[in-house]
Amino acid sequence: MSVPAARWTLVATIIGSAMTFVDGTVVNVALPALQANLHATITDVQWVIEAYALFLGSLILVGGAWGDQFGRKRTFIIGVVWFTIASVACGLAPSVRVLIIARALQGIGAAFLVPGSLAIITTTFDEAHRGKAIGTWSGFSAITTAIGPVGGGWLIEHVSWRAVFFLNVPLAAIVLVLASRFISESRDPSRSRTIDWLGATLAVIGLGVMTYGFLEWPRIGADRAVVWSSLVIGGALLVAFVFVESRTSEPMLPLGLFRSRPFTLANALTLLLYGALATVFWLVPMNLIQVQHYSATSAGAALLPFPIIMFALSRWSGGLVASVGSRLPLTIGPLVTAVGLALCARLGIGGSYWSSLFPAVIVLGFGMTIVVAPLTTTVMNAVDAHRAGVASGVNNAVSRIAGLMAVAVLGIILVTHFSANAERALARVPMRAAERAIVDQELPKLAGADVAAIPMQRQTPIRHAIDEAFVSAFRAVMLAAAIIAACAGIAGVFVS
């Protein structure tokens, strides 16, 4: 391949993968706006996040295998087209239910798009230039992830939350033109023509049913049949998934990889750490917009120091394993991240960004910088070189599923803590029966509750009680996330 063609191939893969990275962060900034516009409850909002994460995390290994067998360029283009059509469906969604379905379709498209981008780079560039190309891809991915929430916040503020999804259309058009002209087709002839659809189906349904049970738990109670039966059935399906993967000749999840202790511990660390981190990108923008009354643009910019630190120190962190080994950064990094999460719990009502949230973001950025590159290196070094691609894919899937489970499980703490505190605080606020009915109807939206129909003299104490209850619940979740991140650090102690 000529040098210009290789460069344009790199541009196509960067823009294509950036579409999915940006959507993963911008949607969190858009949640308050779409919650208000579509009258969504907190459970609805969770499903907007979860539907995407469920299918991306469950199918990303299938997407990689599909590209190896049937053509990486073809799979990449299919993923881009699918993702874009689903994005348009998200932007046009007339209800939150339609939006959730469209987000699930986005996740399917992303599962075929994301693994294809790196695979295409690997086959396009020779060994002498591959490292630089992947570094360029990683650098621009970090930049787009950083500026995405800011640009998306501006669109939300000045146009509509729907514009965030429509932005993918011109980006996809550029990718498709470049891909069709410059990307060469490639595949792995050693792979069989079998896709592990049974394993994929069990993973999607098992995780989906279990997620449903966790999300319904705080709304109707753990003792209801629909909750405990969902958790039992979901768990049984995941056990069946492991059984199938141990018996099939071409599993999407090769269980033999987990015979390596460093690989197993590194993925356990990934599950805990990325699950804890997911709470920041889920709840901090909601807190800033709905309680602190930040604009969407300001909320998007509030977390900007995080990716900037990771980008600026990426070269330094990449050399940590060579200089000090993997155990120290995999222990210290999660513990520093835990401190950053605990500092997020200081966020109250009012106060300066620089004294409240900024220190937490700085500590989080530094903690994740210490751990991310050594974690990736540990995963890749834990298996034979010819299985490095599969190992990387498994670790990527684990990081996605970590966010899925964290939003579902920690959502129980959020909702139950909020409900208990809101009930106590509102009991002290004098209200007429009709006003209390309005409040009760809005409380499932948590901090997004709309009490504008209540007279101003009673609206203010009601609003304050709701905000205080949300902040209290937010702090409980952040402290729980800090404990989870600290547990990740404990796992790092035993990685050798």
What is the pLDDT, as a whole number, of residue 230? 96
What is the pLDDT, as a whole number, of residue 82? 97
CATH number of 1-189: 1.20.1250.20
What is the pLDDT, as a whole number, of residue 49? 95
Examine domains 1-189 and 254-496 and report if their fold is the same.
Answer: yes
What is the pLDDT, as a whole number, of residue 222? 84
Please state whether the predicted TM-score (pTM) of the whole model is above 0.85: yes
Residues 156-200 pLDDT 10s: 999 999 999 999 999 999 999 999 999 888 877 666 567 889 999
What is the pLDDT, as a whole number, of residue 18? 86
Specify whether the backbone of 350 is left (phi greater than 0), alpha (psi in -120 to 50) or beta.
left
Domain ranges of the chain: 1-189, 197-247, 254-496
B/e letters for 257-295, b = 16+ CB within 10 Å, e = fewer, are beebebbbbbbbbbbbbbbbbbbbbbbbbbbbbbbbebe
What is the pLDDT, as a whole number, of residue 310? 83
What is the pLDDT, as a whole number, of residue 458? 84
CATH number of 254-496: 1.20.1250.20
Question: Are 83 and 110 contacting, i.e. CB atoms less than 8 angstroms apart?
Answer: yes
DSSP 183: P
What is the pLDDT, as a whole number, of residue 324? 87
What is the pLDDT, as a whole number, of residue 311? 80
What is the pLDDT, as a whole number, of residue 296? 94
Low-confidence ranges of the chain (pLDDT < 70): 1-3, 127-128, 130-131, 135, 138-139, 189-193, 385-386, 388-389
Question: Are 72 and 187 contacting, i.e. CB atoms less than 8 angstroms apart?
Answer: yes
What is the pLDDT, as a whole number, of residue 264? 95
